[in-house]
């Protein structure tokens, strides 16, 4: 290794400072910290960039972020230029997961109830609990956080997804309890399982956890939305032979999950790269996902309309790590957003279809950042699509997208 | 002056205690892939990425541990796609799977995409990810847990 001397010295000095500091939190300099303990300490100290955002019916922009183990709620009256003082959701700091595929989730009900969920990491690697809290006084105070998974073994209950419709609150997550039971019984188990819990009283109480699907990919976020009054989920599944393609299902429905990507991605690993979905007013589902399968590679969009899947449409530049796509249908407009990295800077790209996903405008680069950045988020404000993007240098930027064209390039 | 003496002291420490240095990850940034290519000029090597958060990486680490027992000269560059801040956790995990001590690297860039761009522009961060370089540095990328047969085949062909 030939590294600049200065860098080497700086690195060693940093280690001398950081290593004892990390160890001190784990009871004595002689103790080797458990990896999980290190994670917890780091998460409690961190101010990660991963956020979630939502507009309420009055057009106020809400967001949740994580700082030093607290989930913080902020609200902006002016479309994201200024945010009011944050309110703490969880009173006690926790090892809140907030790193891309993991982020606190936020949903505002029509009656103004603010619903927040997050995953807290446990000391053992790859384990966690799904946590939930709500505010019924407009975000001024929050209920005592509860753990939603009713299995409390130190296994994975992570990658929570939250969807709210009136008084119905649905939380879905990737759950390791079936895997543990199988392994304890000496059997193999591919991946994790999809579990969910429903509240029909606006989040005051949750019914018993429900097992929904076996053999999901372990570390790709779950996408959750509403198709009419049906909660629907999109997740990366482990099909026989370690094929990690996407499955879609209505959680309350009797129909078996439907395979919605036939990419044939054979992978003994997890891409940490989930999909996204959005239902339009006519009930069509718009899906985006990432794959490196035999059949196709890159980012793709397709819609499920009257039970028919459209041909996958590729988007994004493979030479710039195009990834972390999201999709939002508002009225007839369907918007895709994703991030790219050109070697120097991150950029957020969008592509819009004014006719429900049939024809598409040219891709358009909307924002850039030369520092660390979160994934791009699409948020509906009534029938308008907004892009919300958090980056280290610029902070949270929010802008409406309708009428966006290449002239908006920054 | 003090800084210079410290520098000399650190360097002396590194040279005097190679086994201790193995606990510490070396910084892997956007310049490292080119530096490795120079260091291994004309020679084959394996560039293997893993992470503390990667469920499927543990089996691959164990495979490397077994291979290194029979072939301690395996030209393996083992890189954790984790921050060097996590050095103790990285070292603990490597010890746990029997890779202690071993020279290893960790991502030393707040922009992991910048590091990946230097390794392979198309790599979105899937782990584990292994690059087999032959003596002419033609790369073969493998995503997902490496199988023993794949590693053995590469060793037989490139590292006799």
Instruction: Give me the number of domains chain B comprises.
Output: 1
Where does A157-298 have alpha helices with state H?
177-184
Evaluate whether residue B147 is within a structural domain. yes
Percentage, residues of chain A above pLDDT 70 = 87
If you ran DSSP here, which 8-state letter would residue B107 be given?
E
Length of chain B: 160
Q: Are A39 and B113 within 8 A, CB to CB?
A: no
- Chain B residues with CB under 8 Å of A219 CB are 53-55
pLDDT higher than 60, residue A9: no
The predicted pLDDT at position B159 comes to 79
Nearest-by-Cβ selection for B113 from A5, A242, A321: A321
CA-nearest of A220, A118, A137 to A174 is: A220
B8 falls within a domain: no
Q: Examine residue B101 and say whether the peptide bond preceding it is cis (omega within 30 degrees of 0).
A: yes
C-alpha–C-alpha distance, residues A386 and A383, integer Å? 10
User: Distance of CA A124 to CAs A39, A129, B22, B55, B64, Å?
Assistant: 9, 12, 24, 12, 23
Of A38-42, A45-49, A123-127, B112-116, the range with the highest mean pLDDT is B112-116
Question: What is the rounded CA–CA span in Å between residue A46 and residue B83?
Answer: 13
Q: Does A266 touch chain B (CB under 8 A)?
A: yes
Q: Please tell me which residue of chain A has the smallest CA distance to B123.
A: A321
Are A271 and B38 a contacting pair at CB < 8 A? no
Contacts of A5 (CB under 8 A, 6+ apart): B7
Q: Is residue B138 part of a domain?
A: yes
Alpha helices in A121-241 (DSSP H): 177-184
**What is the structure's pLDDT at A403?**
56
- Peptide bond before B128: cis, by omega within 30 degrees of 0? yes
Comparing A49-63, A246-260, B20-34, which segment has the lowest mean pLDDT? B20-34
Residue A223's H or E segment, with its range, is strand A223-227
Structure confidence at residue A32 (pLDDT): 36
Domain at B68, CATH number: 3.40.30.10
Closest CA–CA distance from residue B70 to any residue of chain A (Å): 25
Q: If contacts are CB pairs under 8 Å, which of residues 79-138 in chain B contact chain A?
A: 84-89, 91-93, 108, 110-111, 113-114, 116-117, 121-128
Considering only CB atoms, B10 lies closest to which of A12, A42, A320, namely: A12
Q: Which long-range contacts (CB under 8 A, 24 or more apart) does A188-195 make?
A: A189/A215, A190/A215, A190/A238, A190/A242, A191/A215, A191/A216, A191/A217, A191/A218, A191/A237, A191/A238, A192/A156, A192/A216, A192/A217, A192/A218, A194/A222, A194/A233, A194/A235, A195/A149, A195/A157
* Strands A246-250 vs A230-236: parallel, antiparallel or unpaired: antiparallel
For chain A, domain boundaries: 47-218, 275-410
Task: Report A:332-351 residues touching B (Cβ under 8 A).
Answer: 341-344, 346
Contact A341 B38 (CB under 8 A): no
Per-residue confidence (pLDDT) for residue B20, from 0 to 100: 44
Contact: B122, A318; criterion CB under 8 Å:
yes
Say yes or no to pLDDT of A3 above 90. Answer: no
- The pair of structure tokens assigned to A383 is 């029938």
The percent helix, strand, coil of chain A (3-state, each to 5) is 10, 45, 45
3-state secondary structure of B33: helix
CATH number of A275-410: 2.120.10.10
Residue A92 near residue A74, CB atoms below 8 Å: no
pLDDT number for residue A406: 41
Q: What is the mean pLDDT of chain A?
A: 89
Q: What is the DSSP string of A101-119?
A: S---EEEE-TT--EEEEEE
Closest alpha carbon to A352 in A344, A361, A343, A341: A361
Whether residue B12 is contained in a domain is answered as no
Tell me if A1 and B117 make a contact (CB, 8 A cut-off): no
In tens, the pLDDT along B92-140 reads 999 999 998 888 999 999 899 999 999 999 999 999 999 999 999 999 9
Task: Read off φ and ψ for residue B105, nearest 5 degrees.
Answer: -120, 160
Chain A CB within 8 Å of residue B75 CB: no
Residue A302: predicted pLDDT? 98
Please say if the pLDDT value at position A399 is more than 90.
yes
Identify which of A285, A152, A255 has the alpha carbon closest to the alpha carbon of residue A209. Answer: A152
Say yes or no: B9 contacts chain A, CB-CB below 8 A: no
Residues whose CB falls within 8 Å of the CB of residue B139, separated by 6 or more in sequence, listed in order: B120, B131, B132, B133
Q: Is the pLDDT of residue B5 over 90?
A: no
Predicted pLDDT of residue A246: 98
b/e sequence A232-247, b meaning 16+ C-beta within 10 Å: bbbbbbbbeebbbbbb
Write down the pLDDT at residue A44. Answer: 53
Sign of the dihedral defined by the CA atoms of residues B33, B39, B40, B46, in that order: negative
Instruction: Tell me if residue A346 falls in helix, strand or coil.
Output: strand
Pick from B7, B55, B111: CB nearest A9: B7
ipTM of the modeled complex: 0.83
Confirm whether A47-218 and A275-410 share one CATH topology. yes
Per CATH, the number for A47-218 is 2.120.10.10
pLDDT higher than threshold 50 for residue A13: no
Residue-wise pLDDT for B27-86, tens only, equals 999 999 999 999 999 999 999 999 998 989 999 999 999 999 999 999 999 999 998 888
The average pLDDT across A288-317 equals 97
Query: Which of A11, A321, A341 shows the shortest C-beta gap to B27?
Result: A11
Question: pLDDT band at residue A402, thresholds of 50, 70 and 90?
Answer: confident
**pLDDT range class, residue A41, cuts 50, 70, 90:** low
Chain position carrying tokens 């791009």: A376
Residue the block writes with tokens 């993991």:
A102
Which sign does the torsion angle of CA A196, A199, A204, A207 carry? negative
Of A33, A39, A273, the CB nearest to B124: A273
> pLDDT, tens digit, for every residue of A303-337?
999 999 999 999 999 999 999 999 999 999 999 99
Quote the radius of gyration of chain A (alpha carbons, Å): 21
Instruction: Say how far apart CA A210 and CA A216 lie, in whole Å.
Output: 15
In a domain, B33, yes or no: yes
- With respect to residue B63, please indicate whether it lies within any of the assigned structural domains: yes
β partners of residue A234: A223, A248
Domain that holds residue B33: 23-158
Coil, strand or helix: which one is A338?
Answer: strand
Query: What is the average per-residue pLDDT within A208-222?
Result: 96
Nearest alpha-carbon partner for A144 in A136, A133, A154: A133
A359 inside 8 A of chain B by CB: no
Altogether, the residues listed in chain A come to a count of 410
Q: Which residues 179-218 of A have a C-beta within 8 angstroms of B?
A: 218
pLDDT in the model for residue A20: 35
Best to test chain B binding among A25, A26, A35 (most B CBs inside 10 Å):
A35
pLDDT of A8 > 60? The answer is no
Q: Please write the tens of the pLDDT for every residue from A69-110.
A: 999 999 999 999 999 999 999 999 999 999 879 999 999 999
Residue A52: the pLDDT is 98
**Cβ–Cβ contacts within 10 Å for residue A62, how many?**
21
**pLDDT, position A242:** 94
Residues 40-59 of chain A whose Cβ lies under 8 A from any Cβ of chain B = 42
Q: Which of A2, A268, A271 faces B38 most closely, judged by CB atoms?
A: A2
């Amino acid at each position: 290794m030939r590294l600049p001397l200065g860098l080497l010295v700086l690195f060693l000095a940093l280690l001398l400072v950081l290593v004892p500091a990390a160890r001190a939190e784990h009871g004595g300099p002689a103790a080797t910290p458990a990896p999980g303990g290190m994670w917890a300490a780091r998460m409690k100290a961190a101010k990660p960039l991963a956020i979630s955002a939502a507009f309420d019916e009055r057009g106020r922009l809400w967001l949740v972020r994580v700082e030093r183990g607290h989930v913080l709620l902020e609200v902006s009256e002016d479309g994201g230029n200024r945010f009011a003082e944050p309110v703490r959701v969880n009173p006690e700091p926790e090892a809140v997961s907030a790193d891309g595929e993991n982020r606190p989730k936020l949903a505002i009900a029509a009656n103004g109830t603010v619903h927040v969920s997050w995953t807290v990491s446990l000391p053992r690697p790859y384990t966690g609990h799904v946590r939930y809290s709500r505010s019924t006084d407009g975000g001024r105070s929050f209920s005592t956080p509860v753990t939603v998974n009713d299995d409390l073994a130190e296994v994975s209950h992570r990658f929570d997804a939250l969807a709210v419709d009136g008084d119905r609150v649905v939380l879905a997550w990737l759950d390791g309890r079936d895997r543990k039971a199988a392994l304890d019984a000496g059997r193999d188990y591919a991946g994790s399982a999809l579990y969910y819990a429903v509240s029909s009283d606006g989040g005051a109480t949750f019914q018993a956890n429900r097992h929904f699907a076996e053999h999901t990919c372990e570390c790709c976020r779950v996408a959750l939305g509403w198709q009419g009054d049906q909660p629907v989920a999109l997740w990366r599944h482990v099909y026989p032979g370690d094929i990690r393609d996407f499955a879609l299902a209505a959680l309350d429905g009797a129909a078996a999950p439907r395979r919605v990507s036939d990419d044939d991605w054979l992978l003994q690993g997890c891409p940490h790269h989930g999909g996204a979905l959005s239902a339009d007013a006519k009930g069509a589902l718009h899906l985006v996902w990432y794959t490196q399968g035999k059949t196709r590679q890159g980012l793709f969009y397709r819609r499920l309309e009257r039970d028919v899947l459209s041909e996958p449409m590729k988007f994004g530049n493979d030479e710039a790590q195009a990834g972390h796509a999201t999709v939002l249908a508002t009225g007839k407009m369907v918007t895709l957003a994703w991030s790219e990295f050109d070697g120097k800077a991150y950029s957020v790209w969008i592509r819009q279809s004014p006719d429900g996903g049939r024809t598409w405008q040219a891709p358009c680069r909307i924002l850039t950042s030369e520092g660390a950045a979160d994934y791009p988020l699409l948020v509906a404000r009534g029938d308008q699509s907004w892009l919300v993007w958090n980056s280290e240098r610029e902070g949270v930027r929010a802008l409406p997208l309708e009428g966006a064209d290449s002239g908006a390039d920054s | 002056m003090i800084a210079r003496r410290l520098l000399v002291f650190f360097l002396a420490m590194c040279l005097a205690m190679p086994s201790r240095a193995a606990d510490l990850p070396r910084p892997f940034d956007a310049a490292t892939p080119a530096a490795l290519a120079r260091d291994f000029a004309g020679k084959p090597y394996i560039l293997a990425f893993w992470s503390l958060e990667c469920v499927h990486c543990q089996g691959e680490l164990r495979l490397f541990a077994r291979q290194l027992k029979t072939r301690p000269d395996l030209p393996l560059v083992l890189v954790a796609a984790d921050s060097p801040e996590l050095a103790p956790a990285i070292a603990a995990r490597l010890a746990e799977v029997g890779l202690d001590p071993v020279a290893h690297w960790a991502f030393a860039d707040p922009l992991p995409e910048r590091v990946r761009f230097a390794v392979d522009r198309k790599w979105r961060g899937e782990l584990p990810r292994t690059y087999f370089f032959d003596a002419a540095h033609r790369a073969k990328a493998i995503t997902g847990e490496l199988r023993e047969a794949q590693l053995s085949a590469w060793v037989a062909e490139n590292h006799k």
